Amino acid sequence: MKTSEQEESVEELGSDLSRPSDNGSRVTTAQASQSIDTEQSKSSKPLDNRGNSSSLARRATGPRTPAGKERSKQNAHKHGIFSKVVLLKDEPRSQFDSLLRGLREDLQPEGTLEEVLVEKLATFLWRHRRLIIAETAEIRKGVEFLDLEEEERREEQADRLSDCQIDFQGGLIRRIANPIILQRCLDLLEDLRMRFEKRPSFDAEQDKEILIKLYGPYNKNYWRRTLLDSYISWMYIWSLPAEERQQKQYFLPENCIQIFLEEVQREKRRLNRYKKARASIEAGKMHLEALRGNVPDAPELDRLLRYEASLERSFDRTLSQLERLQRMRAGQPVPPELKVRVSG
């Protein structure tokens, strides 16, 4: 509420505004307003602290230094139209925001349209980052899981091997290129040796079951002598009567068992040498496969390259649009837009 003295002052000022001053000029509206404020400040009662605070807040003018103004200029664009949808759940927002800030500092956009174009550039670069991660994942999948995939293939091959195939296709010993089958052969030989230690005698019914699984059924026309052939020969001498053995000067039964067990040990050493050599070959092979896996397979590589080419075209087109806008804003000549259409 204005006091009566304030109203009289306003009336006097109003009449003064209609009269010329001594130097021929008129009192400006700003001077009149200043006089009114001065009169009000003299006559009004002091406000409490809360009133003063709200009044100061209404009179706040914001940052005054160039650096502060530059920071505050981007407040309205802290999270633009793309930043909320371009990120996946496990992608770091801080890195995207840092990328966007860097582009804004480099390109200095002004106005909504330039801001949108800069944010589009950030999304294209972010998608390119995602593309590199996808390419790395493809390479890792082709390299890091080679051992596991090869092991699964070998186990499947060993599981498919039936008793019929073992019996009529040369036994397990013909398939020792598979490390799982090779280890199975070594285990069977060790089992055979332990049987002889428990009962120092030949037992055709039990022993031949292991030997046939290892070498297949006995075949006298087979060119290579196997442990099964040795077993049959030594078992025959071991089973001869003492008189006939003495007459033909054959080994004693215990010597037959000892010699056969030595042949079992030689066969185990042979298979272990093969296992070691095979492991060295497999390691070299896996290393070469890993080097080949540094580039994704053709279908995946083609998909990634097409996506990368699409991102690069979109990035270049958006950057060109931004540059044209900024040149127009700066009053600089704008070259005509070049459009290339490729028809199939």
Condensed to tens digits (0 to 9), the pLDDT of residues 214-250 reads 998 877 666 678 899 999 999 999 999 988 888 888 9
Mean pLDDT lowest among 49-58, 263-272, 299-308: 49-58
Per-chain mean pLDDT for the chain? 77
In this prediction the pTM is: 0.51
Tell me if 301 sits within 8 A of 82, measured CB to CB. no
Q: Which of 237, 212, 245, 240 is nearest to 226 (CA)?
A: 212
Tens-place pLDDT, residues 79-105: 467 767 788 888 999 999 999 999 999
Alpha-carbon distances, residue 313 vs 123, 306, 309, 310 (angstroms): 13, 11, 6, 5
* Rounded CA separation 233/255 (Å): 13
Q: Which long-range contacts (CB under 8 A, 24 or more apart) does 173-176 make?
A: 173/214, 173/215, 173/226, 174/216, 176/271, 176/274
Tens-place pLDDT, residues 264-282: 999 999 999 999 998 888 8
Q: In 74-203, which ranges are continuous DSSP H helix?
A: 93-107, 112-144, 146-160, 163-168, 179-198
Tell me if 309 sits within 8 A of 315, measured CB to CB. no
Tell me what percent of the residues of the chain surpass a pLDDT of 70.
Answer: 70
